[in-house]
A and B are shown apart, each in its own frame.
Chain A
Amino acid sequence: MPTWVVPRMHCTQSCHGAPIMHQIQLPCPSPSTDAALLPSAAHDGPVYAMVSTERQLLSSGKGELRAWNWSDIVKKGCKEAWSRRPPYRSSLEVPEINSLQLNPKDNSILLAGGDCAVHAMDLESGTFTHEFRGHSDYVHCLALRDQSQECLSGSEDGTVRMWDLRTGAQVQLIEVHKYEECSRPQHGKWIRCLATDCDWMVCGGGPALTLWHLRSVTPTTVFPLPHCQQHVMFYQDLILSAGHSPAINHLQISGEVRAQIPCTPRSVHSLCINERSPEHKVGGAPPARGAGSDVTQREGLRVGAGLGLE
């Protein structure tokens, strides 16, 4: 479950739908001992993605995008500001929204999830402007290339597609599982995580975590991580990733595993970096039923929060 770190606040989600906020206390935070500020359920199902604007926290889970004002959250009143549902085609089942990505340039938000499409919604008007269809299975993750206004989506069908946000057309298709260097058929072909930095993209999931050069569409580095990775991000000169193992991997672009910081959750679904605090950089959250999360210091001190079963 993704986390969003705001200065001094650390917000995690739980599978039961409540965005739970923990206040980080210096010097050594242990979020399990902090009081959850918003214990009430925000969604009636799991919360799969969260992003934050200046004024609002946006969360999504079982088919709806909900927004919460930060001012309300801080004052401990928890009433959603608005909630929107993308236009779904099927009516049998409400598809989940697995990933949210903010596009600050035109104040819109991209949603992707169970209906195999990527939707774009304008934050001011709340209308859904674009729908990018092409995936044959549900979309796991999104990444945005700011300069060229394109977005990448990784999906269960094993492909990474690039979409032009202005025209709505699919620009590129990478079938990751077909590349022998990275494919791992024993795990599957699903792409769980994506991150992009200029011309580079790193993706992982069933296939091994690989660094791609987008223009030439070649996998340059395959990282030797045995577990399926569930979140990956570029940070400074490193690539941080985490997945089915209880560790946060610090990887160098060359393919070397520089460090593997152990963390409490047995499987990490999202990472986030707190830019403003000098000490506490990385927070990760496991797919726990309760709110269990971990905040680790960069240099490898492990501060544990336990996994709570409900």
Chain B
Amino acid sequence: MSSDSSKKRKPKVIRTDGAPQESKRSRADPDQDVKYYSEEVEVELRDPSKDYELYKQTCQELQRLMAEIQDLKSKGSRDSAVAIEERRIQSCMHFMTLKKLNRLAHIRLKKGRDQTHEAKQKVDAYHLQLQNLLYEVMHLQKEITKCLEFKSKHEEIDLVSVDEFYKEAPPEISKPDITLNEPHQQTLARLDWELEQRKRLAEKYKECLANKEKILKEIEVKKEYLSSLQPRLNSIMQASLPVQEYLFMPFDQAHKQYETARHLPPPLYVLFVQANAYGQACDKKLAVAIEGSVEEAKALYKPPEDSQDDESDSDAEEEQTTKRRRPTLGVQLDDKRKEMLKRHPLSVTIDLKCKDDSVLHLIFYYLMNLNVMTVKTKVTTATEMATPISAGDLLSPGSLLNCLYPGDHGKRTPNPANQFQFDKVGILTLSDYVADLGHPYVWVQKLGGLHFPKDQPQHTVTADNSLSASHMEMTMKLLRMRLQSRLALHKQFASLEHGIVPVSSECQHLFPSKVVSRLVKWAALPYEDYLELSYTKDVVEAGLAEDTHLYYTALVERGTAKLQAAVVLNPGYSSIPPIFNLCLNWKGEKTNSNDDNIRAMESEVNVCYKELCGPKPGYQLLTNQLQRLCVVLDVYLETESHDTSVEGPKEFPQEKMCLRLVRGPNRMKPFKYNHPQGFFSHR
């Protein structure tokens, strides 16, 4: 019953018995090639609906048969076996029909599927085509929009305006005949022109660059040339130094000084500048120099960052040192004081040369924390002078420049703010340190341009050039005068101590030729002793005798008469005259309080001093006053009326010629000497 395997798969009909199915078998092709039963063809020929009806019929038959079988079986009769058998064969036949129908259905189904499949494939192909085309369309559309949106770079270029273009462009580019009509061509032409222009400009640019390079090179060359000049100039300057010295034009020296001057603190700088200027302009005998250490001055202004690096080290050191110092508070205070009174390392020296070749050396210092300047002095004389005993104080540096201007005694600091600083470290007054630091005179501050208003501490007082300049000339004059007057006094004292009153020939006319009274003693007097003298009370009360002044005592004698004079010498001699107080011991003690004539003698010497000044600058005033004292003593003694009760001649015969011996209610003597007649009269 099994078919050959080489045959195509076709539903094999398995038959046991079957009558209805035989037809199918008989359809076998005689052709050996076609071993298959072409049921496909049969399918197309048969009508499905009939098949369906057949199916239904078959099924019904089958059902019937089965039912009959069942009935027969249930009845269980023997004849039924045949009936059953029959029925069984029928049902097998039906089964075969069913199978066929099933096959047919399958074939139909397969066909239908194939057809559907084909159709589907076609549809798919078309669909695909459609999609492709759609895609392409879309693509093209995109391209189109892109093209439409395309902005050519040429539109970003600012082209020259159309009119200008036609004006400037050469016709081969502008082609006006074409371009005027077609905007596209026009734009092209314009772009061409633009390109042309740019090319030209690019060329120009290159040219300019080349030029610039050239010039730069030239500059370089010249610079090198100049820089090579500098060392040559330096060498020339060096070579000219000997010439400068020869011609007395020390430019280099001055230059060096100016260099150092840059490190001076402002007041000293002002002083330096002003003194230099004054010296160059007015006073050839004034020399200014700067002394001191420039490195130290530079070190003062070093920035504090350096100290911060060593902070940790210095802290450790400080701890150690404070441990050592703690027991002595006084030393700490002392150090603080020293710190406060510290001087700037640089100082300005001014040397004033006078006509007689004596020199006054002034050294100016600046106290940094106190903002005041001080001065120290020194005098060098042309020749060595033996100092007379009484002249000890005349040239002493401590008192030489006392009261150069009235009242300027230099004992107190002129800066009122210093008092607060002093209180902190327990300094009472600067005068204790004056010997070391120098005197802080007010004129020194003025020369340095520091102006301190009285009694009102200001926060900052800065050095002012105009103040210094306005005081410079006056102060230098006064300094010279002071030195000269002191030197003159020095000489005079030397002679006075020997009892000789030196009267120069120009002043001989002030006195009669014969003066009998003699100066016997001339000595310095301490201030306290002066205050204690009984006959000096008026001068003291009038405020004319202060501790800055110099005091002397003179003794004039004639016979038994002794005239003591107490002299107050103002530091401003000789513009301020000395003041004499007299006490005559002769027939009792006579002073200005009990004898009007003594007062008249005092006034002859004190008040009428202008006649006694002598030739300018008037340094002979003191000696002339002493000479006049001798003269008036002579007059006094000789004109004393003779006491008739006492026996014997007058002790002092009258030798002076007098017009009248007494005059006026107070019976004054004639003390005024008249030259050249040579007689005495009353004033």
Residues of A that sit less than 8 Å from B by CB: 45-46, 48, 92-93, 96, 98-99, 114, 138, 140, 156, 185-186, 188, 190, 192, 230, 244, 266-267, 269, 287, 289, 306-307, 309-310
Contact = CB atoms under 8 A, between A and B. Distances in A.
B664 A98 contact: yes
B538 A269 contact: no
Given A114-B663, A269-B666, A307-B538, 19 more contacts: A48-B664, A93-B659, A96-B663, A96-B664, A114-B664, A140-B665, A156-B667, A185-B643, A185-B646, A186-B643, A186-B646, A192-B665, A192-B667, A230-B665, A269-B665, A287-B596, A287-B665, A309-B539, A310-B607
A9 to B, nearest CB: 23
Chain B interface helix/strand/loop/mixed: loop
A99 B662 CA distance: 16
A92 B645 CA distance: 34
B132 interface: no
Contacts of B666: 230, 267, 269, 287
Contacts of A289: 603
A310 B659 CA distance: 27
Contacts of B221: none
Contacts of A309: 538-539, 542
Contact of A186 (B541, B603, B645, B664): B645
B7 to A, nearest CB: 175
Contact of B664 (A46, A92, A266): A46
B596 A267 contact: yes
Contact of A185 (B645, B667, B682): B645
Majority SS at the chain A contact face: loop
A93 B645 contact: no
A156 B663 CA distance: 9
Interface in B637-683: 641, 643-646, 659-660, 662-667, 681-683
Given A114-B660, A138-B663, A185 B644 contact: yes
The 3 closest A-B pairs by CB, nearest first: A185-B645, A185-B644, A309-B538
B593 interface: yes
Nearest to A266: B593
Nearest to A61: B664
A156 B666 CA distance: 11
29 contacts: A45-B683, A46-B664, A92-B659, A93-B660, A96-B663, A96-B664, A138-B660, A138-B662, A138-B663, A140-B665, A185-B643, A185-B645, A185-B646, A186-B643, A186-B645, A190-B662, A190-B667, A192-B667, A230-B665, A230-B666, A266-B593, A266-B594, A267-B596, A267-B666, A269-B665, A269-B666, A289-B603, A309-B538, A309-B539
Number of chain B interface residues as a range? 20 to 34
A115 B593 CA distance: 29
B429 to A, nearest CB: 33
Contacts, number: 55
Nearest to A309: B538
B590 to A, nearest CB: 11
Contacts of A185: 643-646
Contacts of B664: 46, 48, 96, 98, 114
A188 B641 contact: yes
A186 B593 CA distance: 20
A190 B662 CA distance: 10
B466 to A, nearest CB: 39
B207 to A, nearest CB: 99
Contacts of B596: 267, 287
A289 B606 CA distance: 13
A98 B665 contact: yes
Nearest to A140: B665
A234 to B, nearest CB: 20
Contacts of B593: 266
A306 B542 CA distance: 11
A24 B665 CA distance: 27
A190 B603 CA distance: 25
A179 B156 CA distance: 148
B651 to A, nearest CB: 14
Interface string B515-551: 0000000000000000000000011011000000000
A181 to B, nearest CB: 15
A188 B661 CA distance: 13
A48 B542 CA distance: 26
B593 to A, nearest CB: 5
Contacts of B641: 188
A235 to B, nearest CB: 21
A102 to B, nearest CB: 18
A266 B593 CA distance: 6
A114 B538 CA distance: 32
Nearest to A192: B665
A310 B663 CA distance: 21
A138 B659 CA distance: 13
Contacts of B681: 93
A294 to B, nearest CB: 15
Contacts of B645: 185-186
Most buried by B among A98, A244, A266, A309: A309
A187 B683 CA distance: 24
Nearest to A93: B659
Contacts of A188: 641
Contacts of B667: 156, 190, 192
B678 to A, nearest CB: 14
Contacts of A266: 593-594
